[in-house]
Amino acid sequence: MVNSCMCEITYIALMGSTVEMLLWTWILLDSGVTSVSLPEITDGGFIDECVREHNRARSSVNPPASNMLHMTWDEGLAFTARAWSRHCASEHNTHLQDVRRVHPTFASVGENIWTGSPSLFNVTRAIKRWVDEKAHYDYQGNDCRSVCGHYTQVVWGSSYKVGCAAQLCPNGVRNFDTREGVVFVCNYATAGNMNAERPYESDGEACSGCEGSCVDRLCRNKERDSKKSYSWTPDMDQALPAADHHYVYILVVRPICLILTFIASYAVHCFYPDVFCYERSWVHRWSPQFLGLGFSHSILDGLDVQLAIYRSCDSQNMTPGRASLGVPSETNLSQDIKNKDGKIFIGHDESDSHVPFSSLNQP
């Protein structure tokens, strides 16, 4: 039983050292790398969240809108949003006035941009930040006490298509912060914030000024709301953004480094067992005689003995420490036990199974 117990202690000690080394290696590899994963423009959940949050804001305007169109996703606008977000700049797309460079069919395109740290980004939070600007907007006077253009674009009545993209910028966002950040861009068609007009009409009840059906106080039309596909890419798109290299490191290089570290640590344990100064001691033969204690196997028979010994790099010299003997309280042991040379003193107390020892020499 003692031998099997020692084998178990040996295995746990070996695996504990290996796991500890792998953990520290993982922390070091991860210290300069973010594991933030941003959705692609083809991600269904991302698309649904973008559309849902925009329509939520549009259907809840006050006063109610008589011409607020239901908003749906547009692939071409998402292409443009992705292309511009890859520039990692906290500024509007410089090509919006040249509409054929930002969309193959629409005559005008609007834009909202959110920038912030990766830990703060999610779609709902970003859009809410725009919508919260309604506190600065006065519908009757059609003026803003502070920034409110993001809000008026979100609730622009004639804007019925949206496409968004989120981009991780590991080297910072121009005109915002040099630290790692996220640029979230949404493009709209047709564009809002035009000609100093109010964002929507409020003549009567919701949907009273438009044709088609009315769902959640938004005007719907099957043809207008249908999805379209485009074989088109904005010429401003950067083929390989810096963040793509970043993800290659996360998904490829780091796991390879972890595997190599595991192999190396296993080899070290096999061929150089004494390389670590505070490695748990293990032996192929464990007995009281090996520990230099002046009592026989029979004294320990039936006891649950757990021993944790630490040694220095020199395997011949044991480092003083604490040994934990799991001895049942009803067990009668001599209070004072000395080894044959008188160097070991173990004081056993039934109320405390931890016993100090001053030195331990391998026979």
Residues 205 and 284 in one domain: no
Exposure class string for 128-139: b at 16+ Cβ within 10 A, else e: ebbbebbeebeb
Instruction: Provide the strand spans (E) within 31-180.
Output: 72-73, 110-116, 137-138, 143-144, 161-169
Looking at the fold, whether 119 and 204 belong to one and the same domain comes out as yes
Q: What is the pLDDT of residue 139?
A: 98
User: What pLDDT was estimated at residue 146?
Assistant: 96
pLDDT at 237: 86
Q: Is residue 248 part of a domain?
A: no
Has residue 33 been placed in a domain? no
> Are 12 and 110 in a shared domain?
no
* 95 and 102 Cβ atoms separated by less than 8 Å: yes
Structural domain total, the chain: 2
Q: Tokens standing for 346?
A: 């173990």
As separate numbers, helices (DSSP H) first and strands (DSSP E) second, the chain gives 10, 12
- Measured in whole angstroms, the distance separating CA 130 from the mean position of its chain's CA atoms is 24
Q: Is residue 258 part of a domain?
A: no
> Residue written as tokens 């949003």?
81
Same domain, 111 and 17: no
Residue 254 lies in a domain: no
The two tokens of residue 209 are 């000024």
Instruction: Please indicate, yes or no, whether residues 217 and 282 belong to a single structural domain of this protein.
Output: no
Given 222, 239, 256, which residue is the final one in a domain?
Answer: 239
Residue 81's closest CA among 36, 117, 46?
46
Task: Judge if 216 and 309 occupy the same domain.
Answer: no
The CA–CA distances, whole Å, from 71 to 44, 111, 155, 161 equal 16, 15, 10, 5
Whole-number Å distance between alpha carbons of 293 and 338: 7
Whether residue 342 is contained in a domain is answered as yes
Parallel/antiparallel/unpaired status of strands 354-357 and 321-324: antiparallel
Q: How far apart are CA 105 and CA 91, in angstroms?
A: 24
Residue finishing a domain among 214, 239, 264: 239
Please check whether residues 220 and 131 belong to one and the same domain.
yes
Sign, CA dihedral 321-326-328-331, equals: negative
Q: What is the CA radius of gyration of the chain?
A: 35
Question: What CATH number should be reported for the domain holding residue 85?
Answer: 3.40.33.10
- Does residue 252 form part of some domain? no
pLDDT at 294: 41
pLDDT, one tens digit for every residue, the chain (363 residues): 544 444 444 444 445 555 565 555 555 555 445 457 899 999 999 999 999 999 999 999 999 999 999 999 999 999 999 999 999 999 999 999 999 999 999 999 999 999 999 999 999 999 999 999 999 999 999 999 999 999 999 999 999 999 999 999 999 999 999 999 999 999 999 999 998 999 999 999 999 999 889 999 999 999 999 999 999 999 998 754 444 445 555 566 667 867 887 687 777 667 766 655 444 444 434 444 444 444 444 444 444 444 444 344 444 444 444 444 444 444 444 444 444 444 443 444 444 444 443 344 444
Q: Clarify whether residues 10 and 140 are in a common domain.
A: no
What's this model's pTM, rounded to 2 decimal places? Answer: 0.61
Confirm whether 244 is domain-assigned.
no
Q: What is the pLDDT of residue 308?
A: 40
Write out the DSSP string of 82-118.
HHHHTT-BSS--TTTTSGGGT-SS-S--EEEEEEE-G
Whether residue 222 sits in one domain with residue 188 = yes
302/353 same-domain check:
yes
Q: What is the largest CA-CA distance in the chain?
A: 104
Does the bond joining 233 to the residue before it have cis omega, within 30 degrees of 0? no
Query: Domain span at residue 350?
Result: 2-24+275-357
Assigned domain for 257 exists:
no
Question: How many CB atoms are closer than 10 A to CB 86?
Answer: 23
* The domain boundary residue, chosen from 239, 263, 288: 239
Buried b (16+ CB within 10 A) or exposed e, 22-35: eeebeeebeeeeee
Judgement on whether residues 61 and 189 belong to the same structural domain of the protein: yes
Q: Are residues 169 and 228 in the same domain?
A: yes
